[in-house]
A and B are shown apart, each in its own frame.
Chain A
């Protein structure tokens, strides 16, 4: 088989493997968020985070995908995001925050493995995520 054909085949197999890992994240996150959404905890969460999410022009429920992203990965965040009605700018803001600050347990372990100051990097990412969220929420609308 030619190199190109082989490469395409390898890529396809990798995509299928990623799907398996993806399902391990998306299914539980989806289940938890659906249950959470209809439980009495949700209005409480919304109220609790209304003011802090308001800084980002996000409704209180946006805290759910953000928290999901911290512990899982961007697929977990997408699974959680799709269950609420966010507009394009709100999704972009959530994306920017979670793309900087996500999969903390996994990437903490990874950065320790390659010999980086893992704890400091987590703090750094949190601060950078807060800043990029503010920038996106405030000037992102100019581009949409």
Chain B
């Protein structure tokens, strides 16, 4: 050990508290915003306007809603929306996987960007950069031949 016990304890104590406080300052307003988005069905309204984007990504139009929810609000909300949609009107397997391909790169963009910006990262790069990256990757993946030959997607092409 290169530091005394008291240094370690005080660093742990003050460091962890200040980390939690700095995250909280961002988190409380964000959670309120996310709640408002959900209650006022903002994502449903937005998804109608953005439905044409799905063509670019190689998905069918209904896929935009779970995708948008996952990107903006977070992966748990997105997964919840997917499960609910599957109960009523299942979306094609190809869309399902492409949504995952997109949102595993870029999810919870409001929350994560704000928290990381507070931690000292560049806000534009981690929000817009990640969005653009996920978009390009999904466009490429959706056009890979593997997607048209894979057995689980056969039913789509018949």
B122 at interface (Cβ–Cβ under 8 A)? yes
Q: Is the interface of B mostly helix, strand, loop or mixed?
A: helix
> Does B53 interact with chain A (Cβ within 8 Å)?
no
Given the known interface contacts A124-B101, A140-B125, the answer about A12 and B31 at a Cβ–Cβ threshold of 8 Å is yes
Known A74-B115, A82-B15: A96·B97 in contact at CB below 8 Å: no
In the assembled complex, which residues on chain B have CB atoms less than 8 Å from the CB atom of A11?
A: 28, 31-36
Q: Are the CB atoms of A114 and B83 closer together than 8 Å? A: yes
Bound-state CA distance A88–B115 (Å) is 14
Whether the pair B11, A34 counts as a contact (CB closer than 8 A) is yes
Task: Report A-chain residues with C-beta under 8 Å of the C-beta of B137.
Answer: 128
A99 to chain B, nearest CB (A): 6
Q: Which residues of A contact B133 (CB under 8 A)?
A: 128, 132, 135
**A68: CB under 8 A from chain B?**
no
Interface string of A1-21 (1 = CB under 8 A from B): 001100110111011001100
Chain B residues with CB below 8 A from A91, complex form:
116, 119-121
Report A-chain residues with C-beta under 8 Å of the C-beta of B82.
114
Stretch at the interface among A47-55, A56-64, A115-123: A115-123
Which residue of A is nearest B8, CB measured?
Answer: A34
Give the distance in Å from the alpha carbon of A110 to the alpha carbon of B1 in the complex: 40
Near B by CB (< 8 A), chain A positions 87-134 give 88-89, 91-92, 94-96, 99-100, 107, 110-111, 113-117, 121, 124-125, 128, 132
The answer on a CB contact under 8 Å between A95 and B79 is no
Residues of A within 8 Å of B15, CB to CB, are: 30, 34, 82-83
Q: Which residues of A contact B (CB under 8 A)?
A: 3-4, 7-8, 10-12, 14-15, 18-19, 22-23, 26-27, 30-31, 34-35, 38-40, 74-75, 78-79, 81-83, 86, 88-89, 91-92, 94-96, 99-100, 107, 110-111, 113-117, 121, 124-125, 128, 132, 135-136, 140, 143-144
